Amino acid sequence: MKRFIIALIALLINSNLFGIVTITGERESFQVMLKLELIRDDNTSVTLLDGTKYVELKSDSNTTGIAASLSAVRPDDGVYTKIIYTVYKYKHKLHINDGTADYYTTDKSIVQGESWNLSTNIAEYGYTVTTPPSPIRTEIVLAKPLELVSGSDASLIFVNKYDAGLGVDYNATIDQATWIYEPTVASSFLPSIPTQTRSFEIAYVGSGDEVRNKITLFMGNTGELLGGYMMKLSEAAFNATYLTVGDQNGDDYILSFQDADDDSDGIHGDDYYDINVTLDCSNNAYSNFRIDVVVDNVHLGDVIGEQAIYRTVTVGDLNCSDVTVP
């Protein structure tokens, strides 16, 4: 029997987030209890994770719980075009320092949004479980479909890259944190292990301010586009996430990134960002950049903000880098 392996890989990609990190510390473990479904082009589905087990998303090794638990599971042959994942709980183990004291998560379960009540006593160090008020369901269209053919191995790869530093949401004092996170540089579900990334930044200028996004594309071993991610480098930047449509003709790309809040109105696929761009790795340059913001299937052009006070500009170079898998 041929294998179907799902793997979680932490990629090593250089990044250059703006801002000064004032919180130090370490997130030793970040786990999620989720249901993971793979959707075929005929709209049938197979459940890969049933939502009863935690999966470790923060790992220093190339062996993870998700790979071990699914290495013997192989869906039926066919073309799979979507991923649906539903999050039920998060589990956090971390410690931080604000320059005056050390704070630790403790063994407790709370509703997401409530205070974590961090402890200054290392003897109480443990796992804090946060449960969303209702399960968080996300539907992702695979930029390159996963094709399962009889007699062949196949893999579904989830890649995730955190930037250095920690961010904290808190009420009044740091020990009353309601969420602690590492900024996500790039994240994607891919039909095979990527061998290269192509990344660049775009900026929006208006009223004397500038905000930025970072776009990262994952490429396969023959140069084919596997997937991508659009990160917010500034709070007011475009709210994009996963690449859902990706076409390339030589150095010319037609891309579509899902809005992070696309599903919030119960309608999937009507909020996204269409991008056209030319990427030239030989000269570390990108050009011919155009973006069209689509909200509720209405095309707004290259605007950001309700009053359209920002306009997009290109900035910096294209970075084409080989992928390092730990």
Domain end, chosen from 163, 192, 221, is at 192
Q: Does the pLDDT of residue 1 top 80, yes or no?
A: no
pLDDT tens-digit readout, 146-171: 888 887 777 788 887 777 778 888 88
Domain's final residue, options 158, 192, 226:
192
Length of the chain (residues): 326
Q: Are residues 184 and 202 in the same domain?
A: no
Span 46-78, pLDDT tens digits: 888 889 988 887 644 333 334 444 444 678 889
Name the domain count of the chain.
Answer: 2
My answer on whether 113 and 215 are in the same domain is no
Query: Which of 121-125, 159-163, 222-226, 299-303 has the lowest average pLDDT?
Result: 159-163
Together in a domain, 29 and 121 = yes
The mean pLDDT value of the chain amounts to 81
Same domain as 294, residue 208: yes
- 107-135 per-residue burial string, b: 16 or more CB within 10 A, e: under 16: eeeeeeeeebebbeeeeebebbbbbeeee
Q: Report residue 38: phi and psi, to 5°.
A: -110, 125
Q: Residue 191 pLDDT > 60, yes or no?
A: yes
Under 8 Å CB-to-CB from 230, ≥6 apart: which residues?
Answer: 213, 214, 215, 216, 238, 240, 241, 243, 257, 273
* Residues 180 and 201 reside in one and the same domain: no
- Both 1 and 94 in one domain: the answer is yes
Q: Are residues 300 and 209 in the same domain?
A: yes
Question: For 283-303, how does the pLDDT look when each residue is reduced to its tens digit (9 = 90+)?
Answer: 999 988 888 989 888 888 876
Closest to 37 (Cα-Cα) out of 142, 119, 181:
142
Which DSSP string corresponds to 129-165?
EEE-SS-EEEEEEEEEEEEE-TT--EEEEEEEEEPSS
Q: Are residues 204 and 165 in the same domain?
A: no
Q: What distances in angstroms separate CA 1 from CA 71, 153, 251, one per listed residue?
A: 12, 9, 39
Question: What is the C-alpha separation between 273 and 295, in angstroms, rounded?
Answer: 9
- Rounded mean pLDDT, 106-120: 95
Q: Phi, psi (5° rounding) for residue 238?
A: -60, 140
What residues make up the domain containing 320?
194-326
- Residue ending a domain, among 192, 221, 247, is 192
Average pLDDT, stretch 238-246? 88
- Which position has the token pair 């796992």? 127
pTM, full prediction: 0.77
